[in-house]
A and B are shown apart, each in its own frame.
Chain A
Amino acid sequence: MSPLRPPIASMAGYVPGFQPPDIASWIKLNTNENPYPPSPKVKEAILAELGDDAALLRTYPSASSEKLRQAAAELYGFDPSWIIMANGSDEVLNNLIRACAGEGEEIAYVHPSYSYYATLAEIQGAKVRTFGLTEDFRIADFPERYSGKLFFLTTPNSPLGFAFPLAYVEELATRCDGLLVVDEAYADFNDCNALDLVRRYPNVVVTRTLSKSYALAGMRLGLAIARPEIIAALDKIRDHYNLDRLAQAACVAALQDQDYFKKRCEQVVATRQFFVTELQSLGYAVLESAGNFVFASPPDRNGRRVYDGLYARKILVRHFSDPLLSHGLRISIGTREEIEQTLSALRDIG
């Protein structure tokens, strides 16, 4: 059969990470999820949406996600016209490429960071350029003016955990002809963010997710904040009913329970600090992290060996075979108990 689009036929496609089938009996520290359940208000809101007989589910959800936009607008201090809600931030990342980069046009991102940008760009037929990092975590060889359509900047960076200083992000905004997409999936675990740059620079877009800090990875909720013209362009090409009823209910409840949210973020950050100190005392090289994970290398710089040791003890972490990263591991911050068990496994493995 012949009707393939040649670039697609040759692309690798994204394969979801391996999950052991008995995952419930594992300590799962491989995808930067939140170890805590979401706010109890989330379950209440979902049950309220379901009612006695879940009858509402027969009907399509709100196409405009108005209540979510309103809740996000209040929280972040923007007019709702500056906000679009998405089925995970993945959806809005995809739609940014769909809206801005035609076939053969270029987008760029930093390596290492979130490689799904490249997959999404390939799906749209856009060209992908990657920029490396310098020793002091700046972007290597970034041109004085970058003329690509989109530049994706993950900050805090995953998998390394560092965050770019805001002044540097701002400088990058002035050097991009297209949009600077600041992917702040982990910003809630950091002490600063780029929201103010959205107000000040017409080409800055910030994306957020509820997968990490709001413990809602399973509900697929994300958003983007940008000028209304950009939001309008994204809005018209998204699926009309991109967010389901239960996700919409969960989102509003989670965003509105800031007390719970803050408490959980503080807990994760405290556990992260504890973990970093303990890892260092085990001789690990640990990068300072602004996310809900750390990147750490054992003294022999053999990440794979430690990954296997943890795996044998039913602790799942992330190892990247990329030579830039293979010396270490990315370990998500679990509960204090999970991290203590991980530490004792690491002592055991040596």
Chain B
Amino acid sequence: MNLCNLEALVPQYVRQFEAYIPSPPDDELQQMFGCSRLIRMNNNENPLGPPPAAAAFLQSFDPALVSRYPSGDCRPLRARLADYLGVTPSQVILGNGANEVIAFVIKAFCQQGDNIVTADRTFAVYEWIARFSGVDARLAPLNDFGFDEEGLLARVDSRTKLVFICNPNNPTGTWWSRDRLIRFMERLGPNHIVVLDEAYAEFMDQPDYPDGISLLSRFPNLIIFRTFSKMYALAGLRIGYLVGTEQVTDIVRKTAIVYSVNTLAQSAALAALGDQTFITATRSLVQEGQQMLAAQCAELKLPILTSDCNFAMIKLPFSDTLAYRLLMQQGYMVRTMTGFRFPGWIRVSIAGREAMQGFCTALSRLVHSRTDQSPLAKVYGVF
């Protein structure tokens, strides 16, 4: 019998790559931590649920529709997006989540020996995909929690194909202004592609926050990522996209997997796009949640990074994994940040008002139990 030698079969850069371990389902977690309900504040999801038009479309979908292949290149949705964004349909490429379009871009521009440059504490998937594709990821430390222009430029060389800028940055919520972005683009020059990940753009309500798409005519080496997972509350449907100049998208289209966005996701996204009432409602919910958190952290004297985004980072005077465990016992799931090179920090997604109130109470209880000799500390006797 033929022995299949995986060592020989699988390239080293794939073998070295560690698998991502997803969190267990809610019921298992509840059992593990002994909480009767679980509020997930770990994935930056929109608490409002999808815009009504998307929900209405899905609830009355015709099952005969799904025995046919979807539009392979999302034609109707691209046409609508192009109209909405003020670009041509061929400037838009959709994927099974923005996650998938990251791979399209890396495959389009990088071969082994090339590198990408990004920050050390940003959305980790750029780095992961680069690494398991045999492409080096060079990471510039954040400066004052933001992307550092100098650090990035210092790492760029002739083999740098892509620079990923997460704007606003997940997890810190920091962002580059229009002037800052323009200055960076000018200093970098035209010989590298800059990917501006605007997954949270629709939350931003700041006059000098740059709309990357409006800069395409000036900087044809820009690519912009957007997603329906965050503002449009369709994370469960997996749909994201990129926008670039035609010169760039004509290349990226070659490495895009066709038919990767299913029929229902395409139609739901089309229905959801541009619902201003929904966007306004989400923004005010997020702002309110951020204010609540900020007030609570001020009271507890905890450093917090807030922004217009639907998440905030909080620094604790003790370990984040401990905080995770104790918050889980109270039914709140946050993201520990040690694994993201922020030891002692947690990232909290903004949830609905009631959940935010509950979380603030839980946080305050946690902090007091750690710092006072209150009776609660004895209840949580483990520390």
Contact = CB atoms under 8 A, between A and B. Distances in A.
Interface stretch (A132-140, A155-163, A213-221): A213-221
Interface in A226-282: 227, 229-230, 232-233, 235-237, 239-247, 250
Nearest to B255: A123
Contacts of A7: 111
A201 B108 contact: no
Given A14-B258, A56-B236, A220-B70, A37 B64 contact: yes
Contact of B238 (A11, A56, A61, A94): A61
Given A201-B2, A239-B100, A16 B14 contact: no
Contact of A57 (B11, B17, B50, B221): B50
B262 interface: yes
B304 interface: no
Contact of B257 (A94, A149, A232, A237): A94
A58 B134 contact: no
A203 B262 CA distance: 31
A3 interface: yes
A249 B132 CA distance: 30
A60 B114 CA distance: 32
B96 interface: yes
Contacts of B59: 47, 50, 54
A149 B23 CA distance: 33
Interface in A49-75: 50, 53-64, 66
Nearest to B248: A1
Nearest to B76: A21
B259 A102 contact: no
B63 A38 contact: yes
Contacts of B17: 236-237
Please classify the interface of chain B as helix (H, G, I), strand (E, B), loop, or mixed, using the class held by over half of its residues: loop
Given A54-B58, A236-B18, A59 B67 contact: no
Contact of B49 (A38, A53, A203, A245): A53
A80 interface: no
Contact of B72 (A3, A16, A173): A16
Nearest to B55: A54
A125 B67 contact: no
Nearest to B13: A102
A230 B234 contact: no
A202 B3 contact: yes
A243 B107 CA distance: 21
B254 A211 contact: no
A314 interface: no
A118 B6 CA distance: 22
A13 B104 CA distance: 12
A50 B96 CA distance: 19
B20 A240 contact: yes
A230 B112 CA distance: 23
Question: Which residue among A4, A47, A105 has the maximum number of chain B CB atoms within 10 Å of its CB?
Answer: A4
A82 B256 CA distance: 28
A303 interface: no
Contacts of A77: none
Contacts of A176: 2
Interface residues of A, number: 94
Contacts of B221: 1, 3
Contacts of B313: none
Contacts of B58: 46, 50, 54, 57, 246
Interface string B250-264: 010111011111111
A20 interface: no
A16 B94 CA distance: 14
B251 A4 contact: yes
B1 to A, nearest CB: 7
A55 B235 CA distance: 11
A58 B68 contact: no
Given A64-B22, A202-B3, A241-B99, A218 B220 contact: no
A5 B108 contact: yes
Interface string B206-242: 0000000000000011000000010001111110000
4 closest A-B pairs by beta carbon, nearest first, are A16-B72, A63-B22, A13-B254, A218-B66
29 contacts: A3-B162, A3-B221, A4-B109, A8-B107, A8-B108, A8-B255, A16-B73, A16-B258, A37-B64, A54-B50, A57-B49, A58-B233, A58-B234, A59-B40, A59-B236, A60-B43, A61-B238, A90-B260, A98-B133, A99-B14, A100-B11, A176-B2, A202-B4, A217-B66, A217-B70, A218-B68, A218-B70, A246-B58, A246-B265
Interface of B: 1-4, 6, 9-11, 13-15, 17-20, 22-23, 25, 40, 43, 45-50, 54-55, 58-59, 61, 63-73, 96-97, 99-100, 103, 107-112, 114, 132-134, 161-162, 190-193, 220-221, 229, 233-238, 247-248, 251, 253-255, 257-265, 268
Given A28-B68, A57-B234, A59-B45, 20 more contacts: A7-B111, A13-B255, A17-B72, A36-B67, A53-B49, A54-B55, A58-B235, A59-B40, A60-B229, A62-B25, A64-B22, A90-B260, A91-B96, A102-B11, A103-B112, A217-B69, A220-B96, A233-B10, A236-B17, A239-B99
